Structure 1
Amino acid sequence: MVSRITVAGGGIAGLSAALLLARQGYEVDLVERDGPPPDDLDDIQTWRRPGAPQVRHPHMFLGLFRRLLRTRLPDVHADLLAHGVEEVDMTAPPGVEAPAGATRLAGFGSRRATVEWALHRAVRGEAGVRVHHGLSVREVVCEEGRVRGVRVDGTTIEADAVVDATGRRSPLVGAFAGPAEESPCGNVYHSRFYRLLDGVPQPPLFLSPIVFAGGAGFGGGLYAHDNRTFAVVFARLPEDDVLGRLREVGAFEAATRAVAQFEPWLRPGNAEPIGTVVPMAGLTNTWRELSPEAPVGYLPIGDVLCTTDPILGRGASFALAGAVRLADLMARDGADLETVGAGLRAYAHDDVRPWYDDAVRDDAERTRNWRATVDGPPESDGAEPDTELPLVVLAALAGLQDQRLWELAQLRANLLTLPDSLDTPEVRERLDAVVSSGWQPPVLSPGPSYSELTDALAAHTG
């Protein structure tokens, strides 16, 4: 009989799993290396999370995350809305009334720390969860091929199962999986957080909580977050030393001034920075398969098994989705941990792996195009950078003319259908009909060219 479960890792995956399992009656020990969040949300920017560097970068919580949070952890969803998180309705294009019967779609932008703050509040109120901050799970204790507990900084916590939610650098999974399959994301991020000043109305957004999310030779975006906060991020090639100057505060600010879409947010008197420029490098898409020798009761979820490029905004959704799937399996098959483990592996293979493959393809194509812009096309083929819009983007834009295309594109973009869901006769026929009417895709918030951005950095001599 399974009664005690240890959850290793207190990010979105671990906190959600601890809540869901405790609410099914399990005794849960949650072990987290970082300290607890502040009691007051106003102090959240001071929360140090060395174990989760992604917290210091912008986040967008897609439709899959919002749907699962609202249906499976409705108290956390309500707490976020009560504390300054605002949802973005994506049921129909901006300014268009959704037709009767349209699938309700919404997401939200928020600081990652705010979401984890709300999850921690729920965990603290859950009698079945014991939280151990400042400790790390070092090893899974096994006996005769089954989990018996974990070693935590010199002591042992007995457990019938261990949920590994320690992330991409899990200290546990290496003993139970082969080498990770990896593909470089091909970019480095530089981010900074700001807050709109009192009395300044929020400027308009475009289709989602993002303003300008593209470029030739680089990427960039402004993400609207909770409580009048927002973040600006630039992405560049790892070898691009010219844009490497974005790590400097002055150069970063010069780059923001080169993007016209940022001006309503960052003009003097409108906002103030609430942090410095933070880089994020060494990014890879990763995939792990558990070996047949993995012990019964070792249950990895989230980034432990799969990570994708953070710029795609998928990690938080799959963290929560993995916790939900685990909870469902435990509710159905909790007496048989072999069946639970097999169910998790099937979920990862069928529902998550396709998004890993999709991210690898997208990153490879974007990297090729960025390099063709920065260095010029390779001499071997003389190809120009590919300017054809991805199918999901084209369908979303054509959805301004055809609500069904809009809905299908948003379901795919929000992880509510699989990557190949737009490759159907219906979508092709609808796209052909829109294009044959003389419609042309609108320009998506054009930003500065690569040379304009580098000129802005060159003009900054501080």
Structure 2
Amino acid sequence: MVSRIVVAGGGIAGLSTALLLARQGYAVDLVERDGPPPEDLGSIQEWQRPGAPQVRHPHMFLGLFRHLLHTRLPDVHVDLIAHGVDEVDMTAPPGIEAPAGARVLASFGSRRATVEWVLHGALRKQTGVRLHHGLSVREVVADQGRVRGVRVDGAVIESDVVVDATGRRSPLVGAFTKEVEESPCGTVYHSRFYRLSDGVPKPPTFLVPVVFAGGAGFGGGLYAHDDRTFAVVFARLPEDETLGRLRRTDAFEAAANAVAQFGPWLRPGACEPIGDVVPMAGLTNSWRELSPETPAGYLPLGDVLCTTDPILGRGASFALAGAAQLSDLMARHPTDLEAVAAGLRAFVESDIRPWYEDGVHDDVERTRSWRATVDGLPEPPAGLPPAVLAALAGQQDHRLWEQAQLRANLMAAPDSLDTPEVRERLDAVLATGWEPPVLSPGPSYAELTDALAAHGG
């Protein structure tokens, strides 16, 4: 019988796992190396999270995350809305009424720190949870093939289960790893946060809480977040030192002001910066598998097992999905930790692995395309990706819209659009004479680099 559970790591995976398990009646110790969040959400930008550098970059929480939050942690969902998170309803295209019985789909943009702040608030009210901040988990203590606890700074916390939610640099998983796959994401990100000025209406986004820009030689976007905040991000090739100047504040601002779609948000007097330009580099897609000698009761989640390019916004959804799956498995097998571990492995293989492979493929293709642009090589037009074409054609056929949104929001498999039905419906829409609208991707690579040069970047 499981008497106590240690959850190592206080990010979304760890916080949601601790909350779900405590609500099932388990005694939970949450161990987190970083300090606690501030009492006041207004001070969240100053929360230091060296153990989670992704907190300092924009986030979009996809439909899977929102669905799980709404169904599994509804009080957290309500609290996020109360603290300034605006959802985007994707049940039907903008301006079109959803048919009766349509599946509700929604996503939202928010600062990652705000989501964690609300989860922390729920945990502080939850009985059965002990929070340990400022401690680093050093190793799993095991005996005769079973977990007995974790070793932290100068002490051992005894437990029957260790949930490893310490992220892609987990100090624990190496002892139990059988093999690792790894490939570079091929991107470096530069981000900056802003807040809309008082009285300035929130400008519109398109379909999701993001305004996209770029796509030939670089990427970028403006992410609408909670409490009238937003973030601008640019993505570049690691070797592209021309755009490497985006690390400088003046160059970053020149680039952001060169994107016409960002104008309603960044025009003079509309906003003020609430942070510096922050880089994120050294990113990889990674996949880990555990050895047969892994002790019963060691249960890794989220980025410990799989990481994908953060610009795709998938990590938070996978973290919450893993927490929900673990909660269900512990309810079904409260005395059989081998069955819990087997169930988690099956879930990761069936539900996460296809998205990992999809992300690796997308990164390889994007890197190839960007390098051709940066090197000045001709490249044939790629056309709209099938998911984008299906979403646009979905304004004529709700079934196409629904299928495209389910895939985009991780609620259908990566190959779910590759079916005879989808192809037939697309052909039927195109046969009416409909053509997809021209999407303005923002400045070209040459226009962006010219803007940097003109402003001394």
Same fold (TM over 0.5): yes
The answer to whether structure 1 residue 134 and structure 2 residue 129 are counterparts is: no
2:205–2:211 contact (8 Å) kept in structure 1: yes
Question: Which residue of the partner structure matches residue 388 of structure 2?
Answer: 393
1:195-244 Cα distance to aligned partner (Å, 9 max, x none): 00000001111111001243210000000000100000000011101000
Aligned to 1:300: 300
User: What is the alpha-carbon distance in structure 2 between the residues aligned to residue 61 and residue 213 of structure 1?
Assistant: 19
Asked if the contact 2:188/2:281 (under 8 Å) is kept, the reply is yes
1:426 matched residue in structure 2: 421
Aligned to 2:398: 403
Instruction: Please list the CA deviations of residues 327-353 of structure 1 after superposition, one character each: whole Å capped at 9, or x if unmatched.
Output: 000000121000000000000000000
Q: Aligned runs of 1:140-151 on 2, under 5 Å?
A: 140-151=140-151
The residue aligned with 2:242 is: 242
- Structural RMSD (CA): 0.9
Which residue of structure 1 lines up, in the alignment, with residue 207 of structure 2? 207
Give the aligned residue type for 2:438: V
The alpha carbon displacement at 1:386 in A equals 4.6
Stretches of 4+ aligned residues off by more than 3 angstroms? none
Partner of 2:177: 177
Read off the aligned partner of 1:460 and give its amino acid letter: H
User: 2:214 touches 2:443 (CA, 8 Å); kept in 1?
Assistant: no
Corresponding residue of 2:354: 354
Counterpart for residue 62 of structure 2: 62
Contact conserved, 2:213 with 2:443, CA < 8 A, in 1?
A: no
Number of the residue aligned with 2:96: 96
Q: For 1:139 and 1:290, how far apart are their aligned partners in 2? A: 16
Which residue in the other structure is 2:79 paired with? 79
Counterpart residue type for residue 373 of structure 1:
T
Structure 1 pair 257/213, CA: closer, same or farther in 2 (3 Å)?
A: closer
Determine if contact 2:180/2:286 at 8 Å carries over to the other structure: yes
Secondary structure of the residue aligned to 1:422 is: coil
1:456 aligns with 2:451: yes
The residue type paired with residue 187 of structure 2 is: N
Question: What 5-or-longer segments of structure 2 have no aligned partner?
Answer: none
Q: Distance in 2 between matches of 1:60 and 1:389?
A: 22
Partner AA of 1:384 in structure 2: E
CA distance in 2 between partners of 1:143 and 1:197 (Å): 58
Partner AA of 1:123 in structure 2: L
Which secondary structure does the structure 2 equivalent of 1:420 belong to? coil
CA offset at residue 388 of structure 1? 2.2
3-state SS of paired residue (2:366):
helix
- TM-score by length of structure 2 reads 0.99
Task: Give the 3 Å change call, closer, same or farther, for CA 409–213 of structure 1 in structure 2.
Answer: farther
Q: Distance in 1 between matches of 2:134 and 2:220?
A: 35
Alignment partner of 2:415: what SS? helix
| Distance in 2 (alpha carbons) for counterparts of 1:437 and 1:451 | 37
Q: Distance in 1 between matches of 2:128 and 2:379?
A: 59
Deviates more, 1:52-61 or 1:398-407: 398-407
Amino acid at match of 2:422: V
| Number of positions where the alignment pairs a residue of Structure 1 with one of Structure 2 | 457
Specify the alignment match of 1:380 in structure 2. Answer: none
Give me the whole-angstrom Cα distance separating, in 2, the residues matched to 1:342 and 1:9: 22
Inter-partner Cα distance in structure 1 for 2:83 and 2:441:
33
CA distance in structure 2 between the aligned counterparts of 1:446 and 1:312, rounded to whole angstroms? 17
Secondary structure of the 1:192 match is: strand
Q: Indicate how the Cα distance of structure 1 residues 228 and 12 shifts in structure 2: closer, same or farther if over 3 A, else same.
A: same
CA distance in 2, matches of 1:70, 1:368: 39
Aligned identity (percent) is 79
Contact preservation (8 Å) 2:32, 2:134:
yes
Per the TM alignment, residue 376 of structure 1 is displaced from its structure 2 partner at its CA by: 3.2
1:324 and 1:142 map into 2 onto residues whose CA distance is 25
Per the normalisation by structure 1, the TM-score is: 0.98
Measured against aligned partners, the alpha-carbon deviations of 1:269-290 in whole angstroms (never above 9, x if no partner) come to 0000000100000011110011
Amino acid at match of 2:397: D
Distance of 1:170 and 1:390 partners within structure 2: 35
> Contact 1:168/1:303 (CA < 8 Å) preserved in 2?
yes
The aligned runs of 1:355-374 (5 Å cut-off) are: 355-374=355-374
Distance 1:299 1:65 in 2: 21
Q: 2:116 matched to 1:121?
A: no
**SS in structure 1 of the partner of residue 233 of structure 2:** strand
What is the aligned partner in structure 2 of residue 283 from structure 1? 283
